Structure 1
């Protein structure tokens, strides 16, 4: 089992396993055929307010992580996170994001929470 993060704009690879889009909006300029997304749990994404706050540069990644983890503690989000955790327990999972800095995005937080590499 492995959980990794990749940009959704990168071509799919054989080792991706289940491809999970973790962005709220569909990536611009990318067809659904090219993306080859298997799951799209929109409820796992940060709230609009948190996303805007972070992208405006008002806080650090550490503070964003803390706030995002608090959002993920809500029942609906916990259920979605558990579902992706089950997918990861069954095989490889690739979390897909359009973020230009995946290592400092919500996808990296999810990867850590899912026990990814």
Structure 2
């Protein structure tokens, strides 16, 4: 497995990075050619996403609930398989907060570490 990082979908990825969008909803203003694959099922459920609402005080509960979903989510295996196929992978998200978002939680989950601030 190569390197994996997160990046806001509105920012420029590095050269040769395989771009995986992990939002459940398609981000506004983004063309399809900016993403290699859209794994919307990798994103949190509508219930978990709406309960978080990008309110910092709700982040710890969001992390707990989202990680519970990820534990049985087949999209996690898809991401791991893609990471084996590509040297550089970037998980794309559209949230404005660079630390408190689902891609950060997902990356920590994939790396087997706890999310800071949870």
The question of 1:65 aligning with 2:63 is answered yes
Q: How far is the alpha carbon of 1:58 from its aligned partner?
A: 8.3
The equivalent of 2:96 in structure 1 is 100
Going from structure 1 to structure 2, the CA distance change for 1:98 and 1:56 (only over 3 Å counts) comes to closer
Going from structure 1 to structure 2, the CA distance change for 1:27 and 1:55 (only over 3 Å counts) comes to same
CA distance in 2, matches of 1:55, 1:114: 23
| Alignment RMSD | 2.0
Contact 1:19/1:39 (8 A) holds in 2: yes
User: Where do residues 38-117 of structure 1 align in structure 2 (5 Å cutoff)?
Assistant: 38-55=36-53, 57=55, 59-74=57-72, 77=73, 79-90=74-85, 91-115=87-111
Structure 2 unaligned regions, length at least 5: 113-118
Higher relative contact order (CA 8 A, sep 6+): 1
CA distance in 2, matches of 1:73, 1:99: 22
Q: What TM-score do the two structures reach when normalised by structure 1?
A: 0.83
**Structure in which a larger fraction of residues adopt helix:** 1
Structure 1 unaligned regions, length at least 5: none
Q: How many residues in Structure 1 have an aligned counterpart in Structure 2?
A: 110
CA distance in 2, matches of 1:50, 1:59: 14
Q: What TM-score do the two structures reach when normalised by structure 2?
A: 0.82
